[in-house]
A = this chain, B = another copy of it.
Amino acid sequence: MNWNITFMYDSLFTYITDRSTTPLKESEFELIKAALIPKKIRKKQYFLQSGDICKYMAFIVKGAMRQYSVDDNGNEHCIRFFLETWWAGDRESYNMLVPSSYNIDAWEETDVLAITKSDHERLNCVPAWLEMKAKLEINDSIASQKRLNTFISLTAVQRYYELQKQYPEFVRRFPQHQIASYLGITKESLSRIRKQMVQNRSSI
C-alpha cells in the first residue's frame, strides 16, 4: 500500500470531532480505526453493483464517485455525486440488507475508509460517533428535500444555475452528460442551456 494511512485516519478524526460536541477519546478512536478498512477504488471501478447488497459505507478521503440507476432502456440516471469527506453507499440496501437498485462507481482514483453494518453497530457505544452519525442523517435528509424541491419548483435552467452555485465542484469534476443526468435532463439539453447562458451573459 503506497498511500498514507495515517492521513486517511486523521481526515476521519477531524471529520468526527468537527461534527460532535462530545470529545473523542484516544481509546474510542482506536475502536473506530479498527472498524474502518482502507480501500482504493480505481476510476470506473464499481464500489456497488445493482443487485448486490451494499456491504460498506465508505468515507471518502480523496476522490469522486457517482451513484446511478439504469432504466429499462439502458439509460443511466445519476442519483448523486460523492466527493471528499462525504459518505458513499446505498442507505437502503446497507441498513435494510436488501439488494440495491443502484450502482456506485469511482469517477476519479478514490481512497475510502469502509465500514460494515455490524462493525458500525459496534461503534454505537462511542457518543461522538453517534452524534456525527445523527448529524449526517439529518443533513442528508435536508439535502434530499432541497433537491426534491428544485425538481418540483424550478425549471431546468434554474436547476443548473443552482447546482453551479451550490456545488461548483460537481460541475468541474464530473462530465457534462452526468451533470445533465443528475439534473434530470439530456446531455443535449444541458449543452443548449449552457450555450444560452453564455450568450445571455455576453449580451449584458
Contact = CB atoms under 8 A, between A and B. Distances in A.
Interface in A149-204: 149, 151-153, 181-182, 184
A77 B153 contact: yes
A18 interface: no
Given A134-B137, A138-B137, A152 B95 contact: no
A79 B142 contact: no
- Number of copies of this chain in the oligomer? 2
A145 B144 contact: yes
Contacts of A146: 92
A151 B153 CA distance: 12
A142 B181 contact: no
A43 interface: no
A79 B96 CA distance: 25
A83 B147 CA distance: 23
21 contacts: A77-B152, A79-B145, A91-B138, A91-B141, A91-B142, A91-B145, A95-B138, A95-B142, A96-B142, A134-B137, A137-B137, A137-B138, A137-B141, A140-B141, A141-B144, A144-B145, A144-B148, A148-B148, A148-B151, A152-B182, A152-B184
Given A79-B152, A141-B144, 4 more contacts: A95-B142, A140-B141, A148-B151, A152-B182
